Amino acid sequence: HSSLRDYDLSVPLESRTGLRQGLASYGDDKFSLFLRKAFIKAAGLSDDSLSRPIIGITNTHSGFNPCHANVPQLIEALKRGIHLHGGLAIEFPTVSIHESFSSPTSMYLRNLMAMDTEEMIQAQPMDACILIGGCDKTVPAQLMGSISSNKPIVPIVTGPMMPGSHRGVRLGACTDCRSNWAAYRAGEIDIEDISSLNAELVPTGGTCGVMLRTCFTMACITVALGLMPFNSATAPAVSSARLRVAEETGARAVEVAMSQRRPQTILTRESFLNGITVLQAMGGSTNAVVHLLAIINRHPAVAGSITLDTFDEIGRNTPLLVDLKPSGDNYMTDFHNAGGMRALLEALRPLLYLNAMTISGKTLGEELDAQPFKGFPYSYEIVRPLSDPLHPNSSLVVVRGNLAPQGAVIKASACKERRLLSHSGPAVVFANTADLAERIDDPALQVSKDSVLVLQSIGPIGHPGMPEAGMLPIPQKLSKEGVKDMVRISDGRMSGSAGGTIVLHVSPESAMIDSPLGIVRDGDMIRLDVEKRLLEVALSGEEIQRRIRERETNLDERSRQLGKRVMTKKRGYRGLYESRVNQAELGADFDFLTADGAEVL
């Protein structure tokens, strides 16, 4: 990038890298570049700096996001890696989302972050972009946006927090948050215990410390997709290893910028099948099913070729190998110390597409060969071999039937009472989360341990953003009798750290007027049979249609025009969200952002 040539009006701008990208703003490319250089020099950058490949870094640090507390240190290490390898690092902010501080739900903001990430990568002149994700929705949002923008990208995550300790017992967010709160509700621990536990559940910055949270599931899947180094998912947030991963990521970004390896080229159908295999083998978060479908449906060459049924098919042939909370007993740091993703990929070798490309330019098989894992397994207790799995198959199962014609998901490996995987019982229906909060602990609630708890209106449109309310609490009068698990059904999601016999993501959701879930009433008999992949309500087709017609008479005209959705808001982002979000089996993305989004606008 000779700067003098840039000002010579007779010399064309022959390359479109670095600052020369996207110069149409003023109708005169040379003037636009002249202005751009004038402004960037205000940051103290020399012509020499500006002649290097520009590596953008998404700064997702936020005071409201403790899972990203180490982002400033990571940026320092990323910059070191970039500058040592001849690039120029320029950081910029994007939306940052934390689970606990995002109302109405973090999922509601995922698509906003995906749009922000896509548009800012696209708009600003960079040759590659490093995406700093971590907390649950951030990695999916960044992958969705960057696949659509298709500029070269390199993801990194903030890494897991350390476990805490209370009276000699290890604790980790968020499985232990839920289990201890349930114990407090049941009167098993007192107010002093629950109060002192509170200070130990999240003892350091970083993402949640149980593997099966969405944050870690997505981090591990990103490794399986070939986009991050093997140890990048598991190195703890507060470790020096995490900083070395960042330095390596900075160096990799310069290389990716030079080679212009783009996500739509690196990622193929096989890459995603590998991701799903890893998801099943670790009994990962059910949320990852929704996120992966959203990511896949952004990819023009893969969209539509992988569906919910693909997850189920892979699950039937993939044993559960990883013993971590909540399916198992261990924490993320244990998985890291047992070899982490390198160990798991070694165990899964026969089930993986080893010819899938990775961000390094080598195939997954070549990367595994280049980094022999001599110690497998460091711990059979945490990463099991294919010959001795924790469970022979199907961690995540897809069920269908007249209650979920477009599918629903259950994490069979997290079920606490196996008998419930084949169960019939009368429905106890809650119309929404407010109704649930009001009645669930009412001593007069007509419920028994054989009832099936149904929660409506927590789907993509319903709440909106599919809150993680799918793990309905056991009614207090039953939990005091020692009932630990019941069949629970909703159109919402649940945290990866939650467990129980819980059917999620029922589609169509109850906010769609033709949803069978939306017309279920107290006392309707519901049957779940996981082995047969069945979720049914004992109602005839005529009765279902009659109830749907009855419901339809109350629908306003605008909702009728928008595909018969029960919308609550009409303006702003919320109006956009409720009118354009698609259903869970498509990823709960905006219909106009998917690979075939052009067809709906």
Q: Could you tell me which of 212, 206, 132, 198 has the C-alpha nearest to residue 162?
A: 206
Q: Is 98 in the site for ligand FES (CB under 6 A)?
A: yes
Nearer to ligand FES, 135 or 154 (CB): 135
Residue 588, burial from CB neighbour count under 10 angstroms (0-12, 13-18, 19+): buried
207 counts as binding ligand FES under rule CB under 6 A: yes
Beta carbons of 153 and 128 less than 8 angstroms apart:
yes
Smallest gap from Cβ 138 to ligand FES, in A, equals 8
CB of 173 to ligand FES, least distance (A): 6
Q: What is the smallest separation between the CB atom of 100 and ligand FES, expressed in angstroms?
A: 6
The number of CA neighbours under 13 Å toward the Cβ of 418 is 5
Minimum CB separation of residue 176 from ligand FES in Å reads: 12
Q: Binding marks (x or -) toward ligand FES, 318..347, rule CB under 6 A?
A: ------------------------------
Binding-site string for ligand FES from residue 10 to residue 49, where x marks contact by CB under 6 A and - marks none:
----------------------------------------
By 3-state DSSP, what share of the chain in percent is helix, strand and coil, each rounded to 5? 40, 15, 45
CB atoms within 10 A of CB 191: 8
* Minimum CB–partner distance for residue 132 and ligand FES (Å): 13
Nearer to ligand FES, 136 or 270 (CB): 136
Q: Does 367 bind ligand FES (CB under 6 A)?
A: no
What are residue 163's phi and psi, to 5 degrees? -70, 155
Minimum CB distance to ligand FES smaller for 213 or for 261: 213
The residue from 6, 127, 136, 270 that contacts ligand FES (CB under 6 A) is 136
> Phi and psi of 375, rounded to 5°?
-90, 5
Helix segments in 440-475, DSSP class H: none
Which listed range, 205-213, 330-338, 341-349, 418-426, lies at the site for ligand FES (CB under 6 A)?
205-213
Q: Least CB distance from residue 133 to ligand FES, whole Å?
A: 10
Tokens coding 437: 């909060």
Q: Does 292 bind ligand FES (CB under 6 A)?
A: no
CB 246 within 8 A of CB 156: yes
User: Which x/- pattern, by CB under 6 A, does the window 453-482 give for ligand FES?
Assistant: ------------------------------
Can residue 99 be called a binding residue for ligand FES (CB under 6 A)?
A: yes
- Residue 129: strand pairing partners: 56, 153
Return the residues of window 55-94 that contact ligand FES according to CB under 6 A. 67
Residue 509 sits in the site that holds ligand FES (CB under 6 A)? no
Kindly report the number of other CB atoms within 10 A of residue 571's CB atom: 7
Name the token pair of 520. Answer: 């279920």
CB of 336 to ligand FES, least distance (A): 16
Q: Give me the phi and psi of 488, to 5 degrees please.
A: -130, 135
Closest CA to 517 of 557, 545, 490: 490
Measure the CA–CA gap between 292 and 337, rounded to whole angstroms: 27
* Cβ atoms of residues 246 and 77 within 8 Å: yes
With respect to ligand FES, which residue has the nearer C-beta, 210 or 453?
A: 210
Among 19, 23, 120, 208, binds ligand FES (CB under 6 A): 208
Distance CA 208, CA 139 (A): 14
- Of 207-215, 228-236, 285-293, 307-315, which segment contacts ligand FES by CB under 6 A? 207-215
Give the CA distances from residue 346 to residues 157, 365, 374, 479, in Å, rounded to whole numbers and listed in that order. Answer: 22, 10, 10, 42
Q: Is 12 exposed, middle or buried (0-12, 13-18, 19+ CB in 10 A)?
A: exposed
- Provide, rounded to whole angstroms, the least separation between the CB of residue 155 and ligand FES: 15
Instruction: Provide the minimum distance between the beta carbon of 2 and ligand FES in the complex, in angstroms, as a whole number.
Output: 46
Please give the full DSSP string across 332-353, using - where no structure is assigned.
HHHHHHTTHHHHHHHHHGGGS-
Q: For residue 74, what are the contacts with CB-CB under 8 A and spacing of at least 6?
A: 132, 156, 158, 242, 243, 246
Q: Does residue 135 touch ligand FES according to CB under 6 A?
A: yes
Stretch that binds ligand FES, among 70-78, 208-216, 424-432, 498-506 (CB under 6 A): 208-216
Q: Does 494 bind ligand FES (CB under 6 A)?
A: no
Q: Which stretch binds ligand FES (CB under 6 A): 77-85, 206-214, 267-275, 308-316?
A: 206-214
Nearer to ligand FES, 87 or 496 (CB): 496
Q: H or E element: which one contains 57?
A: strand 54-59
Alpha-carbon gap, residue 601 to 580, rounded angstroms? 10
- Note whether 213 binds ligand FES by CB under 6 A: yes
**Between residues 287 and 360, which has the closer beta carbon with respect to ligand FES?**
287
Q: How many residues touch ligand FES (CB under 6 A)?
A: 9
Does residue 215 bind ligand FES (CB under 6 A)? yes
Which residues of this protein are in contact with ligand FES, per CB under 6 A? 67, 98-99, 135-136, 207-208, 213, 215
